[in-house]
Amino acid sequence: MFKNSQNIVILPGKNGLKLFAQFFCILAKYYHKPIFYAVVGGWLPETLDNNSRLIKCLNNFKGIFLETNSMAASLNAKGLKRVYFMPNFKTLNIFGQQELVYSIEEPHRLCTFSRIFKEKGIEDAINAVKNINDKLGRIAYTLDLYGMVESWYEQKFTEIVETLPAYIKYKGIVSSDSCTNILKNYYSLLFPTYYDGEGFAGTILDAYAAGIPVICTDWKYNSEIVHNNFTGLVYSVKEKNGLEDILTSILDNPNKINAYKVNCLDEAYKYDPQEAVKILTHHFAIDNNQYNQIEKSEKDDDIRK
């Protein structure tokens, strides 16, 4: 594989990187092949904390591509070189503007699309909708929950589902090719996560493709993906009633969310695979002489420091 390839792209996860990073470095040097690492998820910055050996190994790669700018900046600060931003990408069925579904009538339909466990904010979403409807004495919002229930949360979630009011339902697992068609009929996607392992959430891209604005926490990288007051609404994860407060305020102006729909479609095109991969293939085109110049410049910078 290495011998017959001009460029090597690897995608190991957290455990795989620890096991194989040194192995890839040795093969790359032996065969004189450039290695490019496309990182999936948001775990790498924390993994490199106090791990100078792994940083040294990764600095032998010709390029490391992260899903957000803040991740790339974090790795630069840890001493990692040749770190680049390449957005998460996904083949999407992006709707046309004529297919957008607008609604200002109550009840507004909300949903979540994610794995189901507490840290994904599932209970926060349920409580926010229940509290609003109870306070108003009417059904202003409905909520549908989609996704796989994690095994350690099954018992707890079963107990929750048994006590849910009729306007909140668990709808099970949806195939990836059905997401946009289901999402298009909702008013907004809720993403109230505070999960430590959160990276770039693909569910946000599904919502964008369907023209559905997202209401989410500012946890991890959400604020880079969801643009507040443009493709959705972002609230501080530290605000205990942040989601409830936003949903309550929207009721005074339900068109506020609808105004973001076209913006969501425009944003979806930025994550088209062809656009994202252009960043990677651009670095394929940089020959070894150029890389040697980059490495010499980096070494000179280190000496000056």
Q: What is the pLDDT of residues 79-91, one digit of tens each?
A: 998 999 888 888 8
Q: What is the pLDDT of residue 30?
A: 81
Q: What is the pLDDT of residue 305?
A: 47
Q: What is the pLDDT of residue 21?
A: 84
Please report the DSSP string for 124-178 in residue order: HHHHHHHHHHHHHTS--EEEEEESPBPGGGHHHHHHHHHT--TTEEEEE---GGG
Residue in the structure block whose two tokens are 């009011």: 165
Q: How far apart are CA 43 and CA 75, in angstroms?
A: 11
71: number of Cβ within 10 Å: 25
pLDDT higher at 251 or 177 = 251
pLDDT higher at 295 or 278 = 278
> Nearest Cα to 53, choosing from 78, 28, 83?
78
93: number of Cβ within 10 Å: 13
Query: 152 and 187 in contact (C-beta within 8 Å)?
Result: no
Q: Residue 58: pLDDT above 60?
A: yes
Cis check for the bond before 165: say yes or no (omega within 30 of 0).
no
Q: Residue 230: pLDDT above 60?
A: yes
pLDDT higher at 133 or 72 = 133
Q: How far apart are CA 207 and CA 180, in angstroms?
A: 7
Tokens of 208: 């964008």
Mean pLDDT throughout 62-78?
90
Mean pLDDT throughout 52-68?
90
Classify residue 207 by burial, with Cβ atoms within 10 Å: 0-12, 13-18, 19+: buried
Q: Residue 287: pLDDT above 70?
A: no
Q: What is the pLDDT of residue 194?
A: 95
Helix (H, G, I), strand (E, B) or coil at 108: strand
What residue ranges define each of the domains in the chain, with the CATH number in brackets?
A: 8-89+272-304 (3.40.1260), 97-271 (3.40.50.2000)
Note the pTM of the prediction, 2 decimals: 0.83
Mode of pairing for the β-strands spanning 83-85 and 63-66: parallel
pLDDT tens digits along 6-55: 888 888 888 888 888 888 888 877 878 888 999 887 888 888 888 888 99
Q: Residue 302: pLDDT above 80?
A: no
Query: 214 and 231 in contact (C-beta within 8 Å)?
Result: yes
Q: What is the pLDDT of residue 32?
A: 82
Mean pLDDT throughout 161-186?
94
Helix (H) or strand (E) holding 58: helix 52-58
Mode of pairing for the β-strands spanning 108-113 and 141-146: parallel
E runs forming strands in the chain: 8-10, 35-38, 63-66, 83-85, 108-113, 141-146, 168-172, 188-191, 214-217, 232-235
Query: 40 and 13 in contact (C-beta within 8 Å)?
Result: yes
Put the strands of the sheet holding 232-235 in their side by side order: 168-172, 141-146, 108-113, 188-191, 214-217, 232-235
For Cα atoms 115, 212, 197, give the angle at the middle one, nearest 5 degrees.
30
CA gyration radius, the chain: 22
